[in-house]
Structure 1
Amino acid sequence: MSYGQYGSRTGRLPREAFRPSAIFLGLVALLVVSGWMAWSGFGSAKFNVFLFVAAGWAISLCLHEYSHALVAFKGGDIDVAHRGYLTLNPLKYTHPLLSIVIPLIFVMIGGIGLPGGAVWVNHGAIRSKFVDSLISFAGPATNMVLAIVLVLPFSLGLDTTGHPAFWAALAFLAFLQLTASVLNFVPMPGVDGGNLIYPWLSPQWQRGFGHMAPYGMLILIALLWSPKINAWFFNVVYWIGDLIGLPSYQAAVGYDLFRFWSF
């Protein structure tokens, strides 16, 4: 998710502004270790899946926000580098409510990957409307690419009958990427889909979008509690999942394993 801001800083950027953070590298290590544990059957399968999916989701959040920041940086906003957005540090993207509490609740109770980070972009420094839209497009597009990559073993027809916990975790993580991508592309003020069309709106519509933006994600979350809208949302996700080869039954098993606290 990207937000607008005005004013910029100048000066030479240190190399540290572009180096992956230790926290991100730690998440990658946790993903690898927990993936090995799930693959080998070491310890509790449910806890291994929880660690794998949680680490994978946190990494995808970093990549989502990094994509916003990278396109913004290339498009003229050097402030994103000063703010640490190009270090893949999840703490730089964190909003306590939107980044941690609400996304965790929705993953636990509904298996939905909510977009949770925030990148502040100086839109006044961006060179064109097209690049401004591309900044918003980059985040959910990253989630979609990740979903396709994670689904490749299934869509290519690899044997996934062995190591069931690992494959179920991979399928569920891919499913979360799909849900995040679909949600992000909704043309709602304050969501990437709304931010994507914002540069092309008239000043009057932009003012209206600006007033609604702080509440857009909360409105979208509230709408998902409607049975009809919720059913429509998941129908779209499953339809896309079928197109790219995601086995929904394995994703469902992964979700059950992820909720290690349930029996």
Structure 2
Amino acid sequence: MTWDRPGRDRLVLGVPREAFRPSPIFLALVALFVASGAMAWVGFGNVRFDIFLFVVSGWLVSLCLHEYAHAIVAFRAGDVGVAHRGYLTLNPLKYSNPLLSIVLPVVAVLLGGIGLPGGAVWVDRHHIPGRLRHSLVSLSGPAVNVFFALLLVVPFAIGVDTTARPEFWAGVALLGFLQLTASVLNLLPVPGLDGGNMIQPWLSPQWRRGYDILAPYGFILLFALLWNPRIGGWFFGAVFAVGDAIGLPAPLYSYGLQLIRFWSS
């Protein structure tokens, strides 16, 4: 997700190399993702807890890369300030706040199996010329989710034997499903979300003023829409249909959702 930052910052032209180095927190998440995946693969310890770590750490890594994509495209488009604000370090604590960036998305994964949009980078759009560049900044984050969704489907598309290590492949399928839900959610034309921000630069001044009023309440609007049984049914029906079309096995990601709730029987 991207949020506009009003006003202009006094930007320092020289950006230190440290602004581009991956943070220790991100590297620790990657290490946890690889280690828990290896443990799930060999069946080390409690495999349900292994899958829990595998899915949660993998999801957080993808959240960091989603926000990093927004930041790097904005940086290339002219907003050097994203580097000074720490967005190019892949540190999840830099993207809005820990509650929005980490806690809420993880809770949504555990309780509902939904890839909820996470944190946000504050983009100073005054430094980015052209409407197309603004739209590309917003599109870059969901593009990461689409890429990962397709990448995670590859093993199933080539016919990997999922019966040998069903728990591991269930975790992979669940990660793919989360990326798919995140892709669809982020591309919805809801004010304040990436899909809405993609079209905002192309609106007339009158419509843009209305959009800007609604944008801070995008999350609330999203929840209200999904809470409606009819709209929620349409949304999940579309997600399931896309998942079936790209070859994401529904029984496996459903099994993965059961596994990550390791505290239940």
Specify the TM-score bucket, using the shorter chain as the normaliser: over 0.9
Give the aligned partner of residue 3 of structure 1.
Answer: 3
Give the aligned partner of residue 69 of structure 1.
Answer: 71
Instruction: Give how far 1:190 is off.
Output: 0.6
Give 2:69's aligned amino acid. Answer: S
Give the aligned partner of residue 207 of structure 1.
Answer: 209
| Separation of aligned partners in 2, 1:96 and 1:23 | 13
| Separation of aligned partners in 1, 2:176 and 2:127 | 35
5+ long unaligned stretches in structure 2: none
Give the aligned partner of residue 157 of structure 1.
Answer: 159
| Separation of aligned partners in 2, 1:135 and 1:90 | 18
| Contact 2:139-2:195 at 8 Å conserved across structures | yes
1:81-113 Cα distance to aligned partner (Å, 9 max, x none): 111111111111142443234323321221101
* Matched pairs, number: 263
- 1:186-205 pair list within 5 angstroms: 186-205=188-207
Instruction: Give how far 1:27 is off.
Output: 0.5
| Separation of aligned partners in 2, 1:100 and 1:219 | 20
Partner SS state of residue 120, structure 1: strand
| Separation of aligned partners in 2, 1:94 and 1:51 | 23
- Report the TM-score, using the length of structure 1 for normalisation: 0.97
- Report the TM-score, using the length of structure 2 for normalisation: 0.96
| Contact 1:38-1:166 at 8 Å conserved across structures | yes
Root-mean-square deviation over aligned CA pairs: 1.1
5+ long unaligned stretches in structure 1: none
Residues 116 and 201 of structure 1: is their aligned pair in 2 closer, same or farther, counting only changes over 3 Å? same
1:92-137 Cα distance to aligned partner (Å, 9 max, x none): 1142443234323321221101001110001011121001000001
Give the aligned partner of residue 15 of structure 1.
Answer: 17
Percent same amino acid among aligned pairs? 60
Regions of 4+ moved over 3 Å: none
| Separation of aligned partners in 1, 2:226 and 2:99 | 18
Residues 121 and 86 of structure 1: is their aligned pair in 2 closer, same or farther, counting only changes over 3 Å? same
Match of 1:39 among 38, 41, 46: 41
Give 2:245's aligned amino acid. Answer: L
Give the aligned partner of residue 104 of structure 2.
Answer: 102
